[in-house]
Amino acid sequence: MTGSEGMEPRDLASRWEDAIHGRSAPGEVEALRRELARAGRLAEFEAQAEAAAAVRGLASRHQAPETLRQYAASLGAGGGASRNLWWAAVGGALAASLVLAVGAQLLWDRAGRPGEPFAAVAKEAQAEFQRAGLEREPSQSRARELARLQRWFEPRVNFRPLVFFPGNEETSLEGARVGLAEGVKVASFLYKWQGKPLVLVVFPAQGSPAWVSMPERKWVASRTGDLTVSVWRRGKYIYSLAGDVPAEKLRDLARSITPPDEKFDS
């Protein structure tokens, strides 16, 4: 059918869409233009084509940031079988032991047996450590600049985590990821200490009734298998640092992570 008589306007529109996007058969465009001209509607349709061409030729095309590309690439890397080398030190055994350890008895506790709020946060930190370890690419952002990572978190977790430790010669900042604890988004910073993964989780204290009641500053640590988890609170944030690291070392690091005048109860 080439004539416009008896043809629904939508048919013309569909054909015109194909024409202006180069999806028409040869000769179809000219035939269509003749039809439209006979119907006195060519200018109207050309105006549509002009707007489409302006968008196609001028509208900004935003390139995906490298972090997003890396994330997408990591989804397919290894077909789901391989684990990121960054976490190789964790090992499958530790990951498996963590599955069993979540909620298990806390074996080491410098400040006495931690209260319920501390245990709840430690449990979430353990789970977050485990989740990160099981990801092929644990970092969602590989930026290593602390200020940049803090800005990166703001739109993702609705707060800017207050952290004062950009890393040093012994402990490097490797990236960050958004974690989930009790259904609340939390900020996880990924460090490495002497090649061993360390996860710092920053919780908004108001995020859960279990967290709100946590006392200010008190620092506790617990050890389960190869994993040490420390927990402390500073104002509106609760921090948890977890890794296969001696508790004393975690304590030193914790002092660097929160403001310099921080004094831990112990």
Partner 1 sequence: MPRPNRTRFLRELETHVDGAYNFARWLTGGSDEAEDLVHDALARALAHWNQYTPGTQMKSWLFTIVRRTFLNRLRRGKYEVNSSEYPENEELLTMESQGADPMRLPIGLLRRDLDAALGTLPEAQRSLVLLADLEELSLEEIAGVMEIPVGTVKSRLWRARHLLRQKLAGYEEA
State the nearest-atom distance from the C-beta of 179 to partner 1, in Å.
Answer: 14
Using CB under 8 A as the binding rule, whether residue 182 contacts partner 1 is answered as: no
Question: Considering the rule CB under 8 A, would residue 67 count as an interface residue with partner 1?
Answer: yes
Residue 83's DSSP bridge partners are none
Which listed residue (3, 30, 50, 170) binds partner 1 by CB under 8 A?
50
Residue 92 burial (CB count, 10 A)? 11
Q: How far is the CB of 46 from partner 1 (least distance, A)?
A: 8
With CB under 8 A as the contact rule, the residue among 3, 30, 37, 47 that binds partner 1 is: 47
DSSP 123-167: HHHHHHHHHHHHSSS--SB----HHHHHHHHHHHHSS-------B
Burial of 97 (0-12, 13-18, 19+ CB in 10 A): middle
The answer to whether 145 contacts partner 1 (rule: CB under 8 A) is no
Query: Given candidates 86, 129, 152, 239, which one binds partner 1 under the rule CB under 8 A?
Result: 152
Q: According to CB under 8 A, which one of 80, 183, 195, 260 is a site residue for partner 1?
A: 80
- Show the tokens assigned to 67: 């972090």
List Cα–Cα distances, 88 to 64, 79, 171, in angstroms.
29, 17, 17
What distance lies between CA 237 and its chain's CA centroid?
19
Among positions 7-26, residues that touch partner 1 (CB under 8 A) are 9-10, 12-14, 17, 21, 23
Residues of this chain that interact with partner 1 (CB under 8 A) are 9-10, 12-14, 17, 21, 23, 41, 43-44, 47-48, 50-56, 58-65, 67-69, 71-73, 75-76, 79-80, 140, 152, 154-156
